[in-house]
Amino acid sequence: MLKLALSAKWLGALLFCFLLAAIFAALAQWQVTRSVLPNSDNAGWDIVETQPIEEIAQPGQSYTFNEISKLGKKKVLTEITTNITVNASAAVLVANRIQLDGTKGYWLVVPATSQSGRLYVAVGFISDQTQARSVLATARKLVLPMALLTVQGRYFPSEAPEQQLDPDTFSTLSIAQLVNLPALEQGVQSNTYSGALALTHHNQFSTLANLETITIGLAKSETQLNWLSAFYAIEWTVFALFALFIWWRLLSDAYLKQQSKIGK
User: Measuring CA to CA, which residue among 90, 97, 140, 94 is closest to residue 118?
Assistant: 90
Distance CA 135, CA 124 (A): 10
User: How much is the pLDDT for 121?
Assistant: 95
Q: Would you state the pLDDT for residue 189? A: 55
Domains of the chain by residue range: 2-36+229-263, 39-222
Closest to 89 in 3D by CA, of 137, 151, 131: 137
Mean pLDDT by groups of 10 residues along the chain of 264 residues: 73 84 86 65 74 91 85 86 91 94 94 91 95 94 76 93 92 92 59 93 90 81 66 86 85 77 64
Mapped onto helix, strand or coil, the DSSP state of residue 223 is coil
User: Could you tell me the pTM of the whole model?
Assistant: 0.65
Q: What is the pLDDT of residue 230?
A: 80
- Three-state DSSP state, 97: strand
**Are residues 233 and 35 in contact, defined by beta-carbon separation less than 8 angstroms?**
yes
β-pair type (47-52, 74-86): parallel
Cα–Cα dist 211/153, whole Å? 16
Residue type, 70: K
Residue 166: the pLDDT is 92
What pLDDT does 185 receive? 58
What whole-number distance in Å separates Cα of residue 195 and Cα of residue 257? Answer: 62
For residues 192 and 161, give the distance between their C-alpha atoms in angstroms, rounded to a whole number.
16
Q: Residue 33: its pLDDT value, please?
A: 73
- Rounded to a whole number of angstroms, the distance between the first and last alpha carbons of the chain is 18
